[in-house]
Amino acid sequence: MTQSDHPRNQLDQVICQIRYPAQLSIDRNMDLFQDRIRGDYPGYAQEQIVPIGVANPPGAGHIFTSPDSRWSINVSTGAMSLTTRTYRDWADFESRFESVFDAFREVFGVDSFNRIGLRYINAIRPSALGLDAGADVILRGPVSELFTGGLGTFRGGSCILDRDLDDGISCRTAVGTIVFTDNCPGYAIDNDVYTCRTVDGDDVITTLRRFNDISNRMFMEMASERLCRSVGL
C-alpha cells in the first residue's frame, strides 16, 4: 500500500511532516520560498495549521497547493508538511518531498529537526476491490476479531496501537470501521511512523525511506492476505 504503483490503491492521504524549533524569520522570508516552489504549487492561502499527532506547534500556516489541489505544502514557524490525496508510489512522493525540502533548507537555513513523521491513511472500500465487507475478510486475525463481537450486533469502532522501535522510532496504528459518503461500509488503517529525536537535514530523506518500509510492514500486519493481494502487495 505504501510502495507499489497499482490501480487499486486505497490510500486517502499521505502526509510527511517535519518539525523544528520555532523561527519567526520564516514568516519574513515566505515570499522567497513561494518564488522557489510557485511552478509546481501556484495556489496560496493562509490558515490555522491542522494538528497532526500531538504537541503540534501553534500558529498560522502558509498553504501552497498544486494546480489540481491534490498536493499541498503547509509551512509555519515550527513545522513543514507535504500532503497528497493522489499517492502513486514512494519514488514519486520522495522526489516531490525532496524538491520542496531542498527549497525549504536553502531559503530558511533550517537544518536540524526535532520531529519527523510519515503517515499513511488508508480508506479501504471492500466493494471496490471485489471483497466482502466482513472484518475477517479485510483484517488479519486477531485484529479482525475486535470488529465482529460476540454479544449483540457490532456497529462500529476503532483501536489504536502504540509501539516503540529501535533508534527512537515510534509507531501509531489506528484501525477502525468507516462509512463512505454513499453509505458503503469500509475500514481505515492509519499508520503514523515518527521520531522525536534530533535529525540532521542531510539525514531526513534516509530517515523517511526507513519510515516508508516500516509503514509497509505495519499495513501488512493489520491487513488480511486477501486484502494485501487485492491492493497489489
The per-residue pLDDT for range 118-169, each reduced to its tens digit, is 999 999 999 999 999 899 999 998 888 888 766 556 567 789 999 999 999 9
What is the share, in percent, of the chain residues with pLDDT greater than 90? 73
How far apart CA 114 and CA 145 sit, in angstroms, is 38
Q: In what order do the strands lie in the sheet with 158-164?
A: 43-48, 60-65, 71-75, 79-84, 11-19, 115-124, 185-195, 169-179, 158-164
Q: In whole angstroms, what is the distance from residue 65 CA to residue 74 CA?
A: 9
Of the pLDDT bands very low, low, confident and very high (cuts 50, 70, 90), residue 4 is: very low
pTM reported for the whole predicted model: 0.89
Termini Cα distance of the chain: 7
**What percentage of the chain reaches a pLDDT higher than 70?**
88
Return the residue matching grid coordinates 466493494. 127
Of 25 and 170, the structure prediction assigns the larger pLDDT to: 170
Give the residue-averaged pLDDT of 63-67.
97
Q: What DSSP character marks residue 145? A: G
- pLDDT for 1 equals 38
* Residue 103 or 56, more confident: 103
Which residues have CB under 8 Å from 79's CB, separation 6+? 17, 18, 19, 20, 49, 56, 57, 61
In sequence order, which ranges of 139-200 are alpha helices (DSSP H)? none
